[in-house]
Amino acid sequence: MKKLIYSFIFFLTLLSCSSIVTENKRILNTYSIKNMNEIENLTIKDKLDLTNGEINLYHIKELKTEGIPKIIVDINYEKGIIDSFIISKIDASKILLSLNNVGDNKTINKEIIFARLPKDSKLEFKLENEYQVIDNTIFEIKTIETDRYKWIKLVPFFLDEDTFERKAKEKIEKESNVAFYENNMIMEYEIEEKIGNRVYKKSEAKLGNGKIIKGFGEPQAEIIIYCDNFQVNIKVNENGRWESIIPEAYIGNLKIIQKNIVDNKTIFTEVNGYSVKRKGE
């Protein structure tokens, strides 16, 4: 009996060891946001987080997706406003929409437009949590077609007559989706998770601010920038220069290594001299 118990404990120990998770993170792409929240080309893979506590309007010239990605946006149910998109060209079929409430858990009797698409677009939005109840209200996504565009909106449905009558009497103040221009880019990360002997990769993109970092190195050498929980790999150009964009929060806490191959030997050298400036400065 003791032998059986010891064997079971040993099995649990092996099981727990095999489920240990290690994570590596590196920057794949950066998408610049211009002065009027304009984005030239945006490719969404697994997840895009646009939350920043404010309501933004994004003008996207060309949108592409891989698979069915999730976009997390800010919404204020009480005011009936949400992060919104005006998209000119689309190569995408479906997007999962996740809502982050930045106001009180109250709703109003108002349909909330969040996307304007070309009329021939096949893109569909689906709520991640379509049965979520806020203030005795659920929301559905509806599409309205006009002569030139498709308009995608959230439509509230009140779950009982008392709520409907109460909401019908409430005064609705007209609020437009005011755009804020504090963030200057979207950064896409590749996250590599190792669980036991298996490696899983996923892509996550996040709205934020970045700074340009520049330096010098041996032509064609590789520069590795280590931050707290991710790294950036770039090549030195033929003129001995390199440049990258780093999330603003990590500036001042960087370790930069040059990796070069000389006579079939790999040489690592720490880089001390580099310059930093905010994008657009």
Can you give the residue ranges of every domain in the chain?
A: 38-168, 184-271
What are the backbone angles phi and psi of residue 104, rounded to the nearest 5°?
-75, 160
Q: Is 49 exposed, middle or buried (0-12, 13-18, 19+ CB in 10 A)?
A: middle
pLDDT tens track for 140-190:
999 999 988 999 999 999 998 888 888 887 776 655 544 444 567 788 888
Q: What pLDDT is stored for residue 35 in this prediction?
A: 66
User: DSSP code of 12?
Assistant: H
Q: What pLDDT is stored for residue 22 in this prediction?
A: 59
pLDDT, the chain, mean:
82
Q: What pLDDT is stored for residue 211 in this prediction?
A: 80
CATH node for 184-271: 2.60.40.10
One-letter identity of residue 67: G
Number of neighbouring beta carbons within 10 Å of residue 180:
12
Stretch 211-240: mean pLDDT, rounded?
A: 84
User: Reduced to 3 DSSP states, what percent helix, strand and coil does the chain have, rounded to the nearest 5?
Assistant: 10, 55, 35
- Residues in Cβ contact with 123 at an 8 Å cutoff, skipping those fewer than 6 apart: 87, 90, 92, 93, 94, 95, 117
Q: What pLDDT is stored for residue 138 in this prediction?
A: 94
